[in-house]
Amino acid sequence: MLFNSLIFITVFLPLALTGWYLLQRLGNPAYAKLFLAGMSFWFYGYYNISYLWILLFSLILNYALSALFDKARALGLRRVLLLTGVFLNLGMLFYYKYFNFFIENCNFFLHTDIFLEKIALPLGISFFTFQQLSYVIERYRGSVEHYGILDYSCFISFFPQLIAGPIVLHSEFVPQLRERKCRRLSAGNLFDGAALFILGLAKKVLLADMLAVLVNAEYNNIIYLDAPSAWVTIIAYMLELYFDFSGYCDMARGIGKMFGFELPENFRSPLMADSVKDFWKRWHITLSRFFTSYVYIPLGGNRTGKARQCINLMAVFLASGVWHGANWTFIVWGAVNGIAVVAETVFPKFRFRAAWLNRLATGIFEVLAFSIFRSESLQQAALLWKKLFTGGNTGMLIGISNVLQFPENYVLRKAFELLMPEYVNIVYLVTLAALLVISIILVRGSRAQQWIEEKGRTVSGLLCLATLFTWSFISLSQVSTFLYFNF
């Protein structure tokens, strides 16, 4: 089920909220928790029921491992349980996400002819696997108790963050689930949550999906691009990905707030970062936190000298690349970011004096890096980079803007087609310029939560929210999935 769908907004969410708060009135919180877990399983299984069995198997497996830690007193036995948990979780992730990639590379490099299986990637498996892996590791360390099955089920399956994050830690969710005040209906939480949801919905529907029309069309026609159109395409993709994922996370946090939960922030104006290292402190914050806690620090972090620190940083970014997908483009993307962070670590004073130049340089670097991320293959990425730097100018910018045919510019397009057909391309160029300018202004502006606190309850703020919701709701006929569902 998608947040940006009619059934979710008009049926599922109202039903889930009503049931959650009505069942709290029974006194025993178990009924509300059972209801919340059941609704979350419905949400996950709605798209494909077979995915639900994978989630349930993973949940029961990790819950059983957690229970065994209470019976294992010897350090050796606890280590065996930890290794078992890591192996089973990563093994499941490997099979569904990387098995065919591994076989393809074996066939290519070893000249074998191993048959590829048809394996469907379960939605959100990277997210709920990492969430459970962190819990198993903390159980081994003895820093967390063995939760009851209802608490654990709600923690893993809570539907707002189940499919595309943020990656929530047990310490951020379970205490809230158990706190009585979090189970009371709050008008403030409902308003703030709904406002955050609306802003996230608008990011997705009114910006990301519109930018996707151009990006998807031109990544299928790279051979025809010139330099200006290639640059516009990769900039549009960077903005599309930002608004798509940031919009999802805003909606997730907004829904969580409506239920009385504070989910962690995943974006903090990343496109205003003044270094690549700073970018990764702002972009997909919960993933960076996971890799820092469970890869970087266990490897030694920055405690064992500069050389070892650089190796540890590269390990983190290569792991991040692999996590994002089974393709060499993701691995190269991770390596490129890792090399940049290592360079900043080794040469910390190699910076421009003007802050805006550092932000510009970082932005250009990430736009180029994410152009590899979006490519279907390294060959396609190489062709795209060739176009970026040697593509010349053939006037293709007008051609790529002609795909931007939306209901929003329909009247203007038709008026020009009837009255001044020779100038109709101006409508498309203006649409493209407006999309890019509005997007850049928004990524430089206030974060959604900050805007709500400052302006959300003013008359102009309420009018803005009402307009955005109405506009987005009308546009739901063009529903599309979120990009991070693929990761």
Which amino acid is residue 486, in one-letter code? N
Three-state SS for 302?
A: coil
Residue of 61, 54, 66, 45 whose CA lies nearest to 1: 45
Q: How far, rounded to the nearest angstrom, does the alpha carbon of residue 204 sit from its chain's CA centroid? A: 12
Give buried/exposed letters for 139-171 (b at 16+ CB in 10 A, else e): bbeeebeebeebbbbbbbbbbbbbbbbbbbbbe
Residue 324: CB partners within 8 Å, gap ≥ 6?
Answer: 330, 333, 334, 373, 487
Annotated catalytic residues are: 324
What six digits make up the tokens of 134?
């962190």
93 phi and psi angles, rounded to 5 deg: -65, -40
Query: Judging by beta carbons within 10 Å of its beta carbon (0-12, 13-18, 19+), is residue 137 exposed, middle or buried?
Result: middle
Give buried/exposed letters for 254-264 (b at 16+ CB in 10 A, else e): bbbbbbbbebb
The helix (run of H) or strand (run of E) holding residue 392 is none
Rounded-to-integer distance, Cα 155 and Cα 264, Å: 14
Q: DSSP secondary-structure letter at 25?
A: T
Q: How many CB atoms lie within 10 A of CB 316?
A: 23
The helix (run of H) or strand (run of E) holding residue 19 is helix 13-24
Residue with tokens 């152009």: 371
What six digits make up the tokens of 159?
């539907």
